[in-house]
């Protein structure tokens, strides 16, 4: 029996990306971006839970309201993010007005519109179909209300916070290729409209498409956010019934992956099909550690960390600090099998001199010696 209880943290890609916006993110003077923010906000964008959660601010939030709009509250990702935001901001006296979209994007957008009408002091859009919020984000900016996006980049927002979905997608593809031994068929399940999910799928397929003996069966299969577990099950069952030779099922988020697992159990395919998914969730981890579960790897992220970064962004703005245009949290790859990968390292940020001395010096000599 393969070890299913030990979950291997194969790679934690920690990116200290502080990509500073230069477009003037808000009409309020305390929330505009500047080129100096890459220095002043390093801790907020370091992607480490410890650094973001231990920051303290001299801020009194009494009388100020932060509107938080979520797409749904059906999984641990959303619950953890909202918990982090609420716990942090309420400790400084802020009122947190959380509105849940119930899985409906229009309802979530309406919540943001209502926040603008109510004149809240800050808005956090916590997950959802990023592009659907560009107009209301610009409306909020015009009204002088800073907007912070989690798991999305938005026009008019002061900052966008997410994990590195691009590299996470690459790891999904690499895992699939290894489990398929470089050949075979796969299907991809996605929920359209969510840019972060799209990037994961694109990253995975950029790897898979490099192998001529790996074939995608059909087009990307749509799974609606309203009933993802059931649809993940139905789509997978139909695909494997039509083509029993499929060796891997890729899914761009966690809830449909549970449906995929249920289909594999029913079809007795647990030993012959690998699941490759995305997003950390108690549902996925519980399923993948069950006795007899299939080989399963997923790109994970820490939504409590992302929520804390969002709360800290509010606190920084309230302190008169500036923010980087984007903040990238920790990205993980987790498997329940013996997949070991020591060949992945995180992005390393350096100034030109240090980079020269590490990479070029063995042949060209030290920077200081060659550039006097």
CATH code of the domain in which 31 resides: 3.40.50.2300
Domain match, 264 and 308 both: no
Give the residue-averaged pLDDT of 40-52: 39
For range 237-249, the mean pLDDT: 98
Tell me, yes or no, whether 367 lies in a domain: no
Is residue 349 in a domain? no
Could you tell me if residue 190 is inside a domain?
Answer: yes
Q: Which of 300, 317, 350 is the last residue of a domain?
A: 300
Look at 161-170, 180-189, 251-260, 340-349 and tell me which has the smallest mean pLDDT.
340-349
pLDDT surpasses 50 at 69: yes
Q: What is the pLDDT of residues 88-113, one digit of tens each?
A: 999 999 999 999 999 899 999 999 99
Mean pLDDT of 344-367: 83
Please check whether residues 243 and 119 belong to one and the same domain.
no
Residue 342 has pLDDT above 70, yes or no: no
Residues 6+ apart with CB under 8 A from 356: 364, 366, 367
Which tens digits make up the pLDDT trace of 265-306? 999 999 999 999 999 888 999 999 999 999 999 999 999 999
**What share of the chain in percent tops pLDDT 90?**
69
In this structure, are 323 and 285 located in the same domain? no
Tell me the pLDDT band of 340, cut-offs 50, 70 and 90.
Answer: low
**Contact at 8 Å (CB) between 137 and 147?**
yes
Are residue 30 and residue 121 in the same domain, yes or no? yes
- The pTM for the full model equals 0.80
Q: How many domains does the chain have?
A: 2
Cα separation, 101 vs 359, in Å, equals 50
In a domain, 102, yes or no: yes
Domain limits for position 287: 165-300
The pLDDT value given to residue 53: 58
The answer to whether residues 40 and 183 belong to one domain is no
| 119 and 73 in a common domain | yes
Q: Looking at the domain assignment, is residue 244 inside a domain?
A: yes
Same domain for 281 and 237: yes
pLDDT, position 353: 87
Instruction: Answer whether residue 114 is part of any domain.
Output: yes
In which band, very low, low, confident or very high, does the pLDDT at 35 lie, cut at 50, 70 and 90? very low
Claim to verify: residue 84 and residue 110 sit in the same structural domain: yes
Same domain (yes/no): 287, 312: no
């Amino acid at each position: 029996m393969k070890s299913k209880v030990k979950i291997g943290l194969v790679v934690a890609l920690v990116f200290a990306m502080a990509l500073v916006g230069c477009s003037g993110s808000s009409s309020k003077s305390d929330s505009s971006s500047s080129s100096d923010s890459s220095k002043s906000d390093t801790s907020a964008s370091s992607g480490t839970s410890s650094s973001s959660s231990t920051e303290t601010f001299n801020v009194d939030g009494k009388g100020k309201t932060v509107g938080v709009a979520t797409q749904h509250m059906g999984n641990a990702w959303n619950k953890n993010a909202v918990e982090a935001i609420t716990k942090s901001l309420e400790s400084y006296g802020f009122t947190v007005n959380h509105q849940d979209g119930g899985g409906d994007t229009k309802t979530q957008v309406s919540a943001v519109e209502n926040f603008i009408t109510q004149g809240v002091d800050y808005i956090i859009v916590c997950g959802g179909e990023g592009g659907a919020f560009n107009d209301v984000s610009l409306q909020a900016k015009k009204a002088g209300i800073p907007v912070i996006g989690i798991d999305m980049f938005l026009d008019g927002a002061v900052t966008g916070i997410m994990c590195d979905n691009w590299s996470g997608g690459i790891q999904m593809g690499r895992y699939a290729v290894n489990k398929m031994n470089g050949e075979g068929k796969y299907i991809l399940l996605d929920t359209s409209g969510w840019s972060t999910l799209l990037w994961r799928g694109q990253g995975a397929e950029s790897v898979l498409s490099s192998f001529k003996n790996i074939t995608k069966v059909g087009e990307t299969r749509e799974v609606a956010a309203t009933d993802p577990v059931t649809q993940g099950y139905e789509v997978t069952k139909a695909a494997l019934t039509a083509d029993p030779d499929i060796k891997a099922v890729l899914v761009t988020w966690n809830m449909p992956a549970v449906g995929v697992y249920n289909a594999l159990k029913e079809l007795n395919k647990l030993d012959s099909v690998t699941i490759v998914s995305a997003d950390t969730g108690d549902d996925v981890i519980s399923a993948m550690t069950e006795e007899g579960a299939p080989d399963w790897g997923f790109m994970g992220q820490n939504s409590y960390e992302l929520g804390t970064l969002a709360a800290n962004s509010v606190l920084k703005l309230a302190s008169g600090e500036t923010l980087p245009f984007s903040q990238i949290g920790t990205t993980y790859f987790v498997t329940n099998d013996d997949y070991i990968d020591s060949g992945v390292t995180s992005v390393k940020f350096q100034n030109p001199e240090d980079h020269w001395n590490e990479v070029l010096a063995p042949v060209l000599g030290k920077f200081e010696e060659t550039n006097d």
